[in-house]
């Protein structure tokens, strides 16, 4: 499945949906087409990016079912009960979430710094329902959850994602193997002692998880 399809398949039904950093607006088009919400916002900090969604969703906008917003993060979309933030760095996602109450439901697809996103959500009392790696040419992580309910993660779960450890997918195993190869290559190069120790520690951790997953297969 391609990245957009995986994201769309995990968007829950809601009253008001907001696609933050919508760019093309494909996810909102899906949500409206499937009747998953009563109305939607497409929001982007860049007017040029937002224009793409406005073009795609012109009919929905004209019908009043979709409202375009050119703003930073959640500014101007406070009544949304489900928020999607996909394709942005984890630090930017955390900055956006920090500036407002957590949305009732959220679907997040950080490009990196995923651990920071997990820690931010749980520190604010959120409950994570799904947290897994998938593959579409590259590896991506998807986090789906709710503002309320609370949750507790182990350090490993923060680092790797809970579903990846509980029910590892072939994509997650491929990601770990690839990361282990990269670490082995780095270790084969001429690196300083402290750096070598840190790389070795990460490699051993990856190898231990790979072995544990392979034993379960
Ligand atoms: C790589 S695109 C991702 C588009 C789409 N969400 C996806 O996953 O395919 C990132 C988009 O986020 C927008 N963006 C970056 N920072 C933002 C912010 N603070 N608030 C709103 N939009 C932002 C960018 O202008 C860009 O359109």
Count how many domains the chain has: 2
> Based on the domain organization, do 76 and 104 belong to the same domain?
yes
- What is the CA 48 to chain-centroid distance, rounded? 23
Predicted model pTM: 0.97
Ligand 1 centre from 132 Cα, in Å?
Answer: 21
pLDDT tens for residues 99-118?
A: 999 999 999 999 999 999 99
Which of these, 135, 133, 152, lies nearest to 209 by C-alpha position? Answer: 133
Do 127 and 151 form a contact (C-beta atoms < 8 A)?
Answer: yes
Q: What pLDDT sits at residue 140?
A: 98
CATH number at residue 78: 3.40.50.150
Which of these, 164, 163, 136, 169, lies nearest to 7 by C-alpha position? Answer: 136
What residues does 127 pair with on adjacent strands? 146
Q: Would you say residue 217 has pLDDT above 80?
A: no
> Based on the domain organization, do 24 and 125 belong to the same domain?
yes
> Based on the domain organization, do 179 and 91 belong to the same domain?
no
> Based on the domain organization, do 30 and 84 belong to the same domain?
yes
> Based on the domain organization, do 211 and 128 belong to the same domain?
no
> Based on the domain organization, do 46 and 85 belong to the same domain?
yes
Pocket test of ligand 1: the residue of 2, 40, 41, 45 to mutate, having most ligand atoms within 8 Å of its CB, is 45
> Based on the domain organization, do 138 and 180 belong to the same domain?
no
Q: What percent of the chain has pLDDT over 70?
A: 100
Residue 134's SS3 state is strand
Q: What radius of gyration do the chain's Cα atoms show?
A: 19
Q: Would you say residue 21 has pLDDT above 80?
A: yes
Ligand 1 centre from 72 Cα, in Å?
Answer: 10
Ligand 1 centre from 192 Cα, in Å?
Answer: 38
| CB of residue 14 inside a 6 A radius of ligand 1 | no
Ligand 1 centre from 111 Cα, in Å?
Answer: 11
| CB of residue 165 inside a 6 A radius of ligand 1 | no
Domain closes at, from 122, 138, 163? 163
Residue 105's SS3 state is strand
Q: How far is the CA of 8 from the CAs of 11, 32, 34, 191, in angstroms?
A: 5, 11, 10, 43
The conformational region for residue 46 under phi > 0 = left, psi -120 to 50 = alpha, else beta, is: beta
pLDDT tens for residues 136-191?
A: 999 999 999 999 999 999 999 999 999 999 999 999 999 999 999 999 999 999 88
The one-character DSSP state at 73 is: T
Say how many C-beta atoms besides its own lie within 10 A of residue 153's C-beta.
Answer: 17
Do 83 and 18 form a contact (C-beta atoms < 8 A)?
Answer: yes
Q: Would you say residue 46 has pLDDT above 80?
A: yes
Residue 92 belongs to what domain range?
A: 3-163
Angle between helices 170-188 and 193-216 (to 10 degrees): 150
Mean pLDDT of the chain: 97
| CB of residue 96 inside a 6 A radius of ligand 1 | yes
Q: What percent of the chain has pLDDT over 90?
A: 97
> Based on the domain organization, do 137 and 90 belong to the same domain?
yes
Domain closes at, from 125, 148, 163? 163
The conformational region for residue 72 under phi > 0 = left, psi -120 to 50 = alpha, else beta, is: beta
> Based on the domain organization, do 86 and 103 belong to the same domain?
yes
> Based on the domain organization, do 204 and 116 belong to the same domain?
no
> Based on the domain organization, do 134 and 109 belong to the same domain?
yes
Pocket test of ligand 1: the residue of 44, 77, 143 to mutate, having most ligand atoms within 8 Å of its CB, is 44
> Based on the domain organization, do 37 and 125 belong to the same domain?
yes
């Amino acid at each position: 499945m391609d990245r957009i399809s995986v994201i769309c398949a995990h968007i829950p039904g809601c009253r008001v949906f907001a696609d933050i950093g919508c760019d093309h607006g494909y996810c909102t088009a899906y949500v409206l087409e499937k009747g998953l919400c009563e109305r939607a916002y497409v929001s982007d900090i860049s007017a040029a990016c937002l224009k793409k969604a406005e073009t795609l969703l012109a009919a929905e906008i004209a019908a009043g079912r979709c409202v375009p917003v050119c703003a930073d993060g959640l500014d101007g979309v406070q009544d949304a009960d489900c928020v999607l933030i996909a394709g942005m760095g984890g630090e930017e996602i955390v900055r956006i979430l920090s500036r407002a109450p957590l949305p009732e439901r959220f679907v997040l697809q950080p490009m990196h710094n995923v651990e920071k996103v997990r820690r931010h959500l749980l520190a604010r009392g959120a409950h994570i329902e799904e947290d897994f790696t998938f593959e579409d040419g590259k590896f991506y992580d998807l986090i789906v959850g709710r503002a309320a309910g609370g949750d507790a993660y182990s350090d490993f779960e923060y680092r790797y994602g809970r579903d990846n450890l509980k029910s590892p997918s072939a994509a997650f195993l491929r990601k770990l193997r690839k990361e282990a190869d990269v670490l082995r290559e780095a270790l084969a190069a001429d690196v300083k002692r402290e750096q070598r120790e840190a790389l070795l520690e990460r490699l051993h951790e990856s190898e231990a998880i790979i072995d544990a997953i392979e034993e379960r297969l």
